């Protein structure tokens, strides 16, 4: 389900529950149904989960509700599944996957009409298989949530943000590994907001998005997750949040590099090029600009800083979090990516005469098979 289903969460939930259907939400639609719903398989695609990928590759029916999801390798294979697509825009119907039944209508109206028909299918076996798969995935993700390292592992940091998030929190997520960690470790709830730059993937969107979010929702808390590269593109506007006394919480994922590009280059079989960034003391910067700035390097200190940030009501708080450079591996490594990593490994060896630092082999295997 995509952005077009955003306002129909309740109706769609009842349809999925009644008919034993597992679901995947696109990133812009994240939170339409709470991520911790038992039928949820998370997101699909590079940032998604392996169970979502496997469900797509085993499905005999794909129902696309208000979604123009563009990454075809992550949908069922050509000819594998029948497809019902509901979209307001005629030009979206059949655009990505060959459609068996195209319905040009509002998602709510269609799902509401289907719900009136009662139970349409009572077979639970596909849902149960997906849920079992998801249990395994969640156990593995739990290991990552509990990582306790110095510098901080981003997975555990984002897991703490998730755990302590107010029910009506507004998230503004930037582009980079921030997007990967948010997609995977935030269980966005129906009353929370989740703003990202989905189609364009525009770095630097986190800070202005947070300012807009805080102005539109003055009574709610706003938290922005931003990479150091992205923040340094727009950081002067932190002062705008100070000027207007906006108590936004900025969490800077400080790895002194363009980490997302590091892995993108590797998975494309290229040697890394121009990905390192200077080490900026963003904490001092925030203080100089009139806000609160806290630099942290461990889980404990991060937790303290975040708790303090939620106590602050009249100015922005920036948490400059030094993190480990963990690979935001895709939920499922597709063959091209595996070939890319292999080519990168070989070229690195030939150029530098040493084995490159790659994500743990255990992680790669788990995501490949
Ligand atoms: C305006 C813009 N420039 C370049 C890119 C390509 N790009 C995507 S992610 C990324 C790196 C992000 O680095 P950082 O903000 O430090 O986050 P990290 O991945 O290191 O966590 C880049 C350069 C983009 N999406 N948008
Ligand atoms: Mg970075």
- State both tokens at 264: 């993108």
Q: How many CA atoms lie within 13 A of 345 on its CB side?
A: 11
DSSP state of 219: T
Specify the pLDDT at position 49.
92
Judge contact between 253 and 227, C-beta under 8 A. yes
Cα of 258 vs centre of ligand 1, distance in Å, is 6
Reported confidence tier of residue 346, pLDDT bands at 50, 70, 90: confident
- Domain ranges across the chain: 3-134, 146-322
Please tell me the distance from the alpha carbon of residue 195 to that of residue 6, in angstroms, as a whole number.
Answer: 13
Please tell me the distance from the alpha carbon of residue 157 to that of residue 113, in angstroms, as a whole number.
Answer: 43
If you write DSSP's letter for every residue of 240-268 in order, what string do you get? HHHHTT---EEEEEE-SB-HHHHHHHHHT
For the chain, the average pLDDT equals 92
Mean pLDDT across 163-173: 98
146-322 shares the fold of 3-134: yes
Please tell me the distance from the alpha carbon of residue 117 to that of residue 65, in angstroms, as a whole number.
Answer: 18
Which residues sit opposite 36 in a β-bridge?
A: none
Candidate of 178, 232, 258 to mutate for ligand 1, largest count of ligand atoms within 8 Å of Cβ: 258
The 10s digit of each residue's pLDDT in 7-32 is 999 999 999 999 999 999 999 999 99
Please tell me the distance from the alpha carbon of residue 306 to that of residue 87, in angstroms, as a whole number.
Answer: 40
If you write DSSP's letter for every residue of 122-175 in order, what string do you get? ---HHHHHHHHHHHHHHHHHHHHHT---SSB-HHHHHHHHHHH--TT-EEEE-S
Candidate of 176, 205, 252, 278 to mutate for ligand 1, largest count of ligand atoms within 8 Å of Cβ: 176
Specify the pLDDT at position 46.
85
**Range name among 180-184, 329-333, 352-356 with the lowest pLDDT average:** 352-356
Whether 84 shows a pLDDT value over 80: the answer reads: yes
- State both tokens at 118: 């009662």
Specify the pLDDT at position 339.
78
Relative to the CA of 232, which ligand 1 atom is closest? 15
Mean pLDDT across 353-362: 62
State the pTM of this model. 0.91
Ligand in nearest proximity to the CA of 154: 1
**From atom 17 of ligand 1, which residue's Cα is the shortest distance away?**
227
Please tell me the distance from the alpha carbon of residue 322 to that of residue 328, in angstroms, as a whole number.
Answer: 16
Cα of 260 vs centre of ligand 2, distance in Å, is 8
Mean pLDDT across 193-213: 95
**Is CATH 3.40.30.10 what the domain over 3-134 is classified as, yes or no?**
no
Please tell me the distance from the alpha carbon of residue 96 to that of residue 208, in angstroms, as a whole number.
Answer: 32
> HEC states along 266-328?
HHCCCCCCCCECCCCCHHHHHHHCCCEEEEECCHHHHHHHHHHHHHCCCCCEEEEEEECCCCC
Cα of 40 vs centre of ligand 2, distance in Å, is 30
Give the H or E element holding residue 287: helix 282-288
Number of other CB atoms surrounding residue 313 within 10 Å: 8
Specify the pLDDT at position 338.
73
Percent of the chain with pLDDT over 90: 82
More confident call, 166 vs 149: 166
Please tell me the distance from the alpha carbon of residue 183 to that of residue 41, in angstroms, as a whole number.
Answer: 12
Relative to the CA of 202, which ligand 1 atom is closest? 26
The 10s digit of each residue's pLDDT in 255-314 is 999 999 998 888 888 888 999 999 999 999 999 999 999 999 999 999 999 999 999 999
Whether 364 shows a pLDDT value over 80: the answer reads: no
Ligand in nearest proximity to the CA of 204: 1
CATH of region 146-322, choose from 3.10.450.50, 3.40.50.2300, 3.30.70.580, 3.40.50.970: 3.40.50.970
Whether 367 shows a pLDDT value over 70: the answer reads: no
């Amino acid at each position: 389900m995509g952005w077009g289903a955003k306002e129909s969460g309740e109706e769609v939930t009842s349809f999925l529950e009644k008919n034993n259907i597992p679901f995947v939400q696109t990133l812009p639609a994240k939170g339409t149904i709470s991520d911790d719903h038992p039928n949820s398989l998370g997101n699909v695609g590079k940032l998604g989960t392996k169970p979502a990928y496997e469900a797509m590759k085993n499905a005999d029916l794909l129902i696309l509700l208000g979604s123009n999801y563009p990454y075809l390798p992550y949908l069922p294979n050509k000819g594998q599944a029948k497809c019902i697509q509901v979209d307001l825009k005629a030009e979206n119907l059949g655009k990505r996957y060959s459609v068996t039944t195209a319905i040009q209508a509002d998602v709510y109206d269609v799902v509401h009409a289907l719900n009136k028909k009662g139970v349409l299918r009572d077979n639970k076996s596909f849902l149960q298989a997906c849920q079992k798969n998801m249990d395994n995935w969640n156990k593995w993700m739990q290991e990552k949530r509990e990582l306790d390292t110095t510098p901080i592992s981003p997975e555990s940091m984002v897991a703490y943000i998730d755990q302590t998030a107010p029910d009506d929190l507004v998230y503004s997520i930037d582009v980079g590994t921030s997007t990967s960690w948010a997609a995977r470790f935030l269980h966005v709830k129906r009353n929370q907001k989740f703003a990202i730059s989905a189609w364009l993937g525009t770095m630097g969107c986190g800070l202005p998005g947070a300012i807009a979010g805080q102005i539109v929702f003055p009574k709610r808390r706003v938290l922005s997750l931003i990479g150091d590269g992205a923040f340094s593109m727009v950081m002067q506007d932190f002062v705008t949040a100070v000027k207007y006394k906006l108590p936004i919480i900025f969490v800077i994922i400080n790895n002194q590099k363009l980490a997302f590009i590091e892995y993108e280059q590797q998975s494309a079989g290229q040697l890394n090029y121009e990905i390192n960034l200077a080490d900026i003391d963003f904490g001092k910067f925030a203080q100089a600009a009139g806000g609160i700035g806290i630099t942290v390097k461990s889980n404990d200190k991060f937790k303290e800083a975040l708790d303090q940030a939620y106590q602050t009501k009249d100015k922005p708080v920036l948490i400059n979090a030094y993190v480990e450079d963990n690979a935001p591996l895709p939920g499922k490594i597709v063959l091209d990516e595996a070939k890319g990593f292999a080519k990168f490994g070989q070229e690195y060896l030939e150029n530098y005469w040493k084995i490159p630092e790659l994500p743990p082999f255990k992680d790669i295997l788990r995501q490949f098979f």
